[in-house]
Amino acid sequence: MSLAREEEGNPMASGTVGFVGLGNMGGRMARRLVAAGFTVVGHDPATGRAEAAGAEPAADPAEVARRAEVILLSLPDSHVVEPVVRALLPAAEPGATVIDLSTASPASTTALHAEAEAVGVRYLDAGISGGAAAADKGTLTIMAGGDGAVLAELAWVFEPIAAHVHHMGDPGAGHTAKLLNNFLNAVSLAASAEVMVAGHRAGLDLPQLLDVLNSSSGVNFATLNRFPRIVQGDYLEGGLTSRLMTKDVALYLDLVGRLGVPSLNAAGPLASFGLAENLGYGDQISNRVVDAIGDLAGGVRVSESNNPTRKG
């Protein structure tokens, strides 16, 4: 830990942070922590990811827990989070903290909170939003569930990666908020992709169409932040894939089902991102859903430059 951090009075900021899951988002966040002066001990099953993120590699999650009192997770879903947490908890010191930055099932998350508490380990579910660009800049939004005092105590670990940190409530509340956000993200992206393909087929000037949408009632995050780049050939690679977007919508459906809330709008994004996955775009950024819809429309590409088409 740097002297500056010691002088700021952060007794928990030992200078070493653990990180499990160093893919598209985890790797970017780990690099931000390294750049801020922290030693990051990282584990990822993919060879070389720890080193690429500037982290000291660890053989497994248990080694991460032995070497760091604060362990961040950035994993695909609860099916991966659960075994990772259960592998690291026995190695963690009482008083250590696990911060789960994944998009996960709130029911699973609540159970993991209880398992961690039983062995004296603190747990925060801390969903993130903002995509790869925000991760690179350290301007993510974090929505956290768990003990608010623990969240405040660990402000130093969020500072390099997030511009906004919100305490949403009890265990599971952070991941609940993340699923609600991601569902709206999925709806707006899928619907905007369809509109852009239709606009292209209708012969409209797409940058002008975006100007109209962004000053009209159809404006949304995708029209404001994604499609102005996509029509220029920049798909903003590195963010959430179509396969993971489909997973997130399925988790949303499970959540609202448990809450007794009908979902009348999930069919659209499930169909759109499911189509993208079936056409070979599953492991590419979810923005490529516009190409999947374009395929069904006769090979339409809304991009104005030559870009790789689908693989597979």
Is residue 256 within 8 A of residue 262, CB to CB? The reply is yes
Helix or strand or coil: residue 127?
strand
Select which of 137, 178, 247, 311 is catalytic. 178
**Other CB atoms within 10 Å distance of the CB of residue 12:** 14
Half-sphere exposure of 204 (CA within 13 A, CB side): 17
**137 assigned to active site:** no
**Other CB atoms within 10 Å distance of the CB of residue 150:** 16
Is residue 104 within 8 A of residue 74, CB to CB? The reply is no
CA 292 from centre of chain: 22
Residue 17 dihedral angles phi and psi, to the nearest 5°: -125, 135
Query: From its phi and psi, is residue 98 left (phi > 0), alpha (psi between -120 and 50) or beta?
Result: beta
For residues 152 and 167, give the distance between their C-alpha atoms in angstroms, rounded to a whole number: 9
Is residue 50 within 8 A of residue 18, CB to CB? The reply is no
Which residues are part of the catalytic machinery? 178
